[in-house]
Amino acid sequence: MARRYLVALAALVLGLSSPRQAEARNAGTYLVDPGGRVSAVRALDVNADGRLDLVVLVQDAKTADQSVLVMRTPSEPVKRHYYPPDHVNRIVLTGDLADAGAMAVGRFGPKGEARLRFLGPKGIIELQPDGMPALTAARTSKPTLFGRSPGRLLVIWDGVADLDGDGIDEMWFPLATGQGRMYVIGGTSAGDRALSVEPVNRASTSAEHLLSRHTYVPNLFPADVDGDGTKELLVLDETELVAWFLDGKRKPERLKLPFLEPDPKLGPEDQRTPRIQAADVNGDGFTDLLVTLITGKRTRLESLRTILFHYPGPFRDPKTGGLVTPRARLDTESIVLHPTFVDLDGDGKLDYVGDSIRGNRLDIIARLLGKDPTITFVGFRFDPKAGTFENAPYFTIQREYASAEALSNRFGRSADFAGDFDGDGHTDLLDLGNLEGVEVLRGVASGKGAATFAESFVPRIPVKEGLTADSLVVDLNGDGRADAVLWSKTSLYFLISKGSR
């Protein structure tokens, strides 16, 4: 009895003290050689089997040729690589696909089937996920402004959404003709239309280029501004927000945004820059406007602050016709690099997480000389009773950040709060830190209106060659727990949660 007890105790101790054991208990790790450098990853159920699959952009390190990997998530993973070889197909971008500048992933098929669309100067080529041509419609023959010369990276074009709720995605893009007017390809041809939205075009010349055309294509956001269940497209036009209704019946509506008017009292060193996002944070069917305003002196890091303003939808005041009064104003120190709205506590409302690198001149000097900075994450929960965000932080945590990201001015995302890895209903923290490894920390609500991310769920797994400052957190296998896809210059890594619940 005593001996069995001691053996069990030893096993328990060993299990707790060994990171590898903890890792094996809570998550499986897998590695795939994508055959090149990964530049972007998206998730979509390409074969309607209820599991999210992956679409990965890869560039060959030697030839710089681009290819697209479509990886169908299996019901049973294979050892080491997770994906069986026959679940991965590679589409090499040669021939007509060689000059496509962007790729869109969406439910473009006639019944909402997943498709890949390659946008280039000769038009749009649509492929099925297995690489076979989809039926080409005359509607996709319009030349686009996108293109790519040899050696350049293909980008993923996210101008895709199911605007009318019919289960088929719409897609918008700039045309090649004239100034590059925006065009919408609807789920059906009834939804096709040109918008009177044009990019800004700038001419330039340089020692390397005789003549250059720089086109700044505006960001169009899908948003339900009137709560009718269909989405409009929002675009900024100088100081006005324009909502395009794609039913073909209503004219675009304009709303002045006073905070975009230049302030004549500002001095040359004063910073006052609003950044606008749109999301339905309270789940009421109306898209809200979320503005993070950066203020302070441009030359003094310690003076800079980020202020979040929440304009609840519908954000046009019926009495004045102008923008509604903001319902919340949250001040945080320094510049929030990636303001994010995610459901932290599983209540169906979106909470706010801001990440910033703080400090003073001494910290800047240390950073410029190679010291890894610290990044501070602050979360604010959405309060359904108040109809806006709580004033007090839900959590404040500090983590390591890669000096290379800061020095290069890239400031990629080193952490993700979007996934519930242990399936307890509360989001957890996936942290890449200084990009030399990855770990998952459990998010735990303390019951006093605060949360902690101190408990290890997956202890730090070192990645010798270093990770790219980006990740995809989704439930790949449909088990109700989040998984993570990470990548480095040469490999794809999968962290498949299997613990707790």
Distances (CA, A) of 369 to 298, 339, 361, 414: 21, 27, 12, 20
Closer by beta carbon to other proteins, 329 or else 338: 338
Q: How far apart are the first and last CA of the chain?
A: 32
156 forms part of the interface with other proteins (CB under 8 A): yes
221 forms part of the interface with other proteins (CB under 8 A): yes
Q: Quick check: 378 and 308 in contact, CB under 8 A?
A: no
177 forms part of the interface with other proteins (CB under 8 A): yes
Q: Six-digit token pair at 410?
A: 């890239």
277 forms part of the interface with other proteins (CB under 8 A): yes
> What are the DSSP E strand ranges found in 327-478?
328-333, 340-342, 351-356, 374-380, 382-383, 388-389, 395-400, 415-419, 428-431, 437-445, 451-462, 472-474
Among 46, 234, 255, 281, binds other proteins (CB under 8 A): 234
194 forms part of the interface with other proteins (CB under 8 A): no
Closer by beta carbon to other proteins, 182 or else 344: 182
HEC string of 78-104 equals: ECCCECCHHHEEEEECCHHHCCCCEEE
Q: Six-digit token pair at 484?
A: 């993570």
Specify which residues 229 forms β-bridges with. Answer: none
501 forms part of the interface with other proteins (CB under 8 A): no
> Which x/- pattern over 286-315 shows residues binding other proteins (rule: CB under 8 A)?
--------x---xx-x--x-----------
Nearest approach, Cβ of residue 90 and other proteins (Å): 19
Piece of 47-55, 312-320, 353-361, 383-391 that binds other proteins (CB under 8 A): 353-361
Closer by beta carbon to other proteins, 219 or else 391: 219
- Tell me the site size for other proteins, rule CB under 8 A: 83
Q: What is the DSSP string of 242-261?
A: EEE-TTSSSPPEEEE-GGGS
Give residues with Cβ within 8 angstroms of 262, minimum separation 6. Answer: none
Cα-flanking dihedrals φ and ψ of residue 275, to 5°? -125, 130
155 forms part of the interface with other proteins (CB under 8 A): yes
Specify which residues 310 forms β-bridges with. Answer: 290, 328
Piece of 86-94, 235-243, 380-388, 427-435 that binds other proteins (CB under 8 A): 235-243
Secondary structure class of 130 (helix, strand, coil): coil
CA distance 24 to 397: 27
Specify which residues 419 forms β-bridges with. Answer: 428
Nearest approach, Cβ of residue 211 and other proteins (Å): 5
> Hey, how many other C-beta atoms are within 10 angstroms of the C-beta on 211?
8
- Restricting to residues 49-78, which ones interact with other proteins according to CB under 8 A? 59, 62-64
Sequence-separated contacts (24+) of 1-4 with Cβ below 8 Å: none
199 forms part of the interface with other proteins (CB under 8 A): yes
398 forms part of the interface with other proteins (CB under 8 A): no
Among 20, 80, 214, 371, binds other proteins (CB under 8 A): 214
Nearest approach, Cβ of residue 170 and other proteins (Å): 17
> Which x/- pattern over 78-107 shows residues binding other proteins (rule: CB under 8 A)?
---------------------x-xx-----
Q: Among 321, 230, 231, 341, which Cα is nearest to 277's? A: 341
Piece of 148-156, 189-197, 314-322, 470-478 that binds other proteins (CB under 8 A): 148-156
- Restricting to residues 469-488, which ones interact with other proteins according to CB under 8 A? none
> Which x/- pattern over 408-447 shows residues binding other proteins (rule: CB under 8 A)?
xx-x------------------------------------
Helix axes 19-26, 2-17, angle to 10 degrees: 90
Closer by beta carbon to other proteins, 41 or else 337: 337
Among 236, 307, 323, 450, binds other proteins (CB under 8 A): 236
